[in-house]
């Protein structure tokens, strides 16, 4: 009998395993690859569930804005990492919300549904479907009846706080990833366990390198090994390596003074000199 081909590791799998590591220890069930309409089950669909009437303070400390204050005992997440949120994604999320409620026999208040997106949707998509920013940074709600049961969490816009970090870890923008890395290095995440900590740093390294193909070759444990080798100054070495090869990163840094200042503050004098010399050289060639 031929050996079954192993599925490649994916961002969706990493996101689900991340939530399992963070939420399971405080009594929140995390069920990845929920089967809703499509078969086989999709990796980007995750159902999380609590047994208590309300989230406990220990649980809220690990849940991001939007979810930590919702009253529904079940939360349905449709996570988008490389795929941009468009009208098709929103319509499908609405259909999944309806179908899951019907299949589980749930009332409206028993399930809260969210699109969790790593990339920031364009303003036209948000406008066309009535999504407006709530009083919680990064959390959007639609004023259209059809989409009003599916909120949207934009990871790039979440504040860089310990209760958001397990979600913001998958933000797409480099400056947000760098902010997450700084928070991880600060020691200010009281609930962070060692296995998750190294896993999270591995995610940061892969994200900052912007190598999508890497995710096809790794596993949860390999991400931890990457994280262990990724020191706070390692990101500076990473940036200087990329400056030698990537005009895209050079352009990003050249047009973002706040980001470049944050990098420079963390550098040793030798790194600072080399960094500024390379940046100046690249800008001169542009």
Question: For residue 36, what pLDDT is reported?
Answer: 63
Question: For residue 10, what pLDDT is reported?
Answer: 77
* Residue 100 contacts residue 34 (beta carbons within 8 Å): yes
Task: Please give the model's pTM, rounded to 2 decimal places.
Answer: 0.75
Question: For residue 278, what pLDDT is reported?
Answer: 55
Strands 111-117 and 150-154: parallel
Question: What integer is the mean pLDDT of 210-219?
Answer: 53
Q: Which is higher by pLDDT, 139 or 274?
A: 139
The percentage of the chain sitting over the pLDDT mark of 90, rounded to a whole number, equals: 47
Whether 239 has a pLDDT exceeding 50, the answer reads no
Annotate 44-59 with b (16+ C-beta within 10 A) or e (fewer).
bbbbbbbeeeebeeeb
Q: What is the pLDDT of residues 101-119, one digit of tens each?
A: 998 899 888 999 999 999 9
Q: What is the pLDDT of residues 4-55, one digit of tens each?
A: 455 666 788 889 999 999 999 999 999 887 766 555 546 578 899 998 889 9
Whether 246 has a pLDDT exceeding 50, the answer reads no
* Residue 200 contacts residue 18 (beta carbons within 8 Å): yes
Query: What CATH topology corresponds to 11-157?
Result: Trna Endonuclease; Chain: A, domain 1 (3.40.1350)
Domain boundaries, the chain: 11-157, 173-285
Q: Note the residue count of the chain.
A: 286
Q: What is the pLDDT of residues 55-86, one digit of tens each?
A: 999 999 999 999 999 999 999 999 998 889 99
Q: Which is higher by pLDDT, 5 or 123?
A: 123
Question: For residue 274, what pLDDT is reported?
Answer: 59
Percent of residues in the chain assigned helix, strand, coil, to nearest 5? 50, 10, 35
Kindly calculate the radius of gyration of the chain based on its CA atoms and give it in whole angstroms.
20
d(CA 40, CA 216): 20
Annotate 202-224 with b (16+ C-beta within 10 A) or e (fewer).
bbbbbbbeeeeebbeebebeebb
Question: For residue 41, what pLDDT is reported?
Answer: 47
């Amino acid at each position: 009998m031929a050996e079954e081909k192993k599925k490649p590791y994916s961002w969706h799998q990493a996101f689900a395993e991340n939530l399992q590591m963070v939420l399971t220890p405080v009594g929140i069930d995390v069920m990845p690859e929920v089967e809703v309409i499509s078969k086989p089950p999709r990796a980007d669909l995750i159902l999380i569930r609590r047994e208590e009437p309300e989230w406990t303070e220990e649980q809220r400390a690990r849940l991001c804005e939007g979810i930590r204050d919702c009253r529904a005992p079940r939360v349905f997440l449709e996570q988008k990492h490389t795929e941009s949120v468009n009208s098709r994604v929103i319509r499908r999320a609405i259909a999944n919300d309806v179908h899951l409620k019907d299949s589980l026999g749930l009332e409206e208040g028993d399930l809260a549904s969210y699109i969790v997106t790593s990339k920031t949707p364009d303003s036209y998509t948000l406008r066309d479907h009535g999504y407006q920013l709530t009083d919680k940074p990064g959390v959007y709600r639609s004023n259209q009846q059809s989409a009003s049961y599916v909120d949207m969490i934009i990871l790039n816009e979440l504040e860089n706080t310990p209760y958001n970090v397990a979600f913001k870890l998958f933000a797409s923008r480099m400056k947000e990833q760098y902010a997450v890395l700084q928070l991880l290095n600060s020691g200010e995440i009281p609930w962070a366990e060692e296995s998750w900590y190294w896993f999270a740093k591995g995610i940061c390294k892969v994200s900052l390198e912007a190598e999508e193909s890497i995710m096809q070759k790794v596993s949860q444990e390999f991400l931890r090994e990457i994280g262990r080798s990724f020191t706070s100054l390692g990101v500076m070495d990473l940036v200087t390596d990329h400056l030698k090869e990537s005009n895209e990163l050079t352009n990003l840094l050249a047009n973002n003074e706040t980001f470049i200042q944050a990098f420079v503050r963390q550098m040793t004098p030798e790194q600072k000199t080399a960094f500024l010399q390379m940046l100046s050289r690249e800008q001169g060639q542009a």
